[in-house]
Structure formats: structure tokens, C-alpha cells
Amino acid sequence: MWAAFELMYNTYIDGAELYLEDMLPALDNFIAFGAQQLAASPAYVASLVDMVTRMFNEELSNVDLMSACKLAETEMLYLRGLLDKYVPQFVHLAMAQLRNGNVKTNVLKIHLIETVVNAIYYNPAIALDALEKDGWCADFFALWMSMIDKFTRVHDKKLCVLAIAALLSLAPEQVPQSAAQGYEKLLIVSCHASSAWMGANFGL
């Protein structure tokens, strides 16, 4: 099975980047069902991360960037504890796209925001530290808050709730001062949104 992964990765770096969307189902299976093997193979983990970063570093279409976001999400959801040194890179890549003024559609914007939200769910301390180092904490929380009503899929809503719960697990001193105001507003807005989501989903 892993020989097939190596072949897929080598094909990707040899010029098949535009086919990442078609590769996603297979890559999702490698990650979801091969997490134990990946834990023992740092080189494979690095290869998966490389597939994400290459997509962000190319000037590609919205679909290609969304595919990169989806792959990053799968990695962060299934490879918990294996990506600590890579999560800041994911945060930086997503935020750089959000801040460059070229994101014109809400669909792509939501995928990019969710890359950071996934990083928060993966490890809120690491994610906030990455945002703070780039001076992006306040901007991110303001953007997330302004877009939260656009998270309409069940997956989007669940991810937001889980990330907010992860943030609440932090001690106050772990929350950067630059994020404090937006952070508090996000929690208030999110609580109202979460109540509405649960009422809609469960008939409450």
C-alpha cells in the first residue's frame, strides 16, 4: 500500500499538482486508515505536508487551493500529535492567502478560514502562537466572527464548536492580548450561533 503512496507522491511532485482534487479520496484513505503507520514514518508525514505547501506556493485556481485546504484538514484531524511543527506553516499559508486581497469567493474564504480553525482544534496554543507571531490574531478572530453565519454545513458548524471548545480549554494567560477583544466577541457570537445550529439540527 505504501509503495502506491510513494508512487502517487512522486507523480505529484513530477508535475501532477493539478490532479490533487482527483487524488484526495485515495490520500484521505491513506491518512485515515494509515495513521499508525504514518506515526512511525516521519518522511511520509513530511510528504503529505509538502503536497499542501506546494499547492499554496503555486498560483493555481480556487479549486486547487480548496483541495489543498481539504488535504490539510484531513491531516490535522487524523494525525494529531504528529504535525506540531507543521501547523504554524498551515496557519501562515492560509492567512497569507486571506490577507493578499485575491480571495474573491466566500467558498474559498471559508476553506481558508477553516484551515486555521482546524489548526486551533488540533492545538489551540500552537495555532494562536503562530497567529500572534505574524501579527494576525486580531484580524483572524474578526474575520472568523464576520463569516460565522456562512458556515452552513453540519461539518462547518461542528468544526467551529470543537475549535471554540478547544479555545475555552486555554488558560487566560495563553490567549494573546492582541486577540482578546476579538476572541471575546467570537465566543459571544459563537454561543448564539451554536444554540441556533443545535436547535435547527435537533429540533430544540
Q: For 75-129, write each residue's pLDDT tens digit.
A: 999 999 999 999 999 999 999 999 887 788 999 999 999 999 999 999 999 999 9
User: Mean pLDDT of all residues in the chain?
Assistant: 86
> What are the grid coordinates assigned to 133, written together?
507571531
Local confidence band at 138 (pLDDT 50, 70, 90 cut-offs):
confident
Local confidence band at 202 (pLDDT 50, 70, 90 cut-offs):
very low
For the chain, percent of residues with pLDDT exceeding 70: 86
| Nearest Cα to Cα of residue 124 among 108, 140, 112 | 140
> 28-41, pLDDT tens digit by residue?
999 999 999 999 99
pLDDT at 198 over 60: no
pLDDT at 200 over 60: no
| Nearest Cα to Cα of residue 159 among 107, 197, 105, 185 | 197
pLDDT at 18 over 90: no
User: What are the b/e assignments for 120-149, b being 16+ CB within 10 Å?
Assistant: bbbbbebbbbbbbebebbbbbbebbbeebe
- Position 195 scores a pLDDT of 56
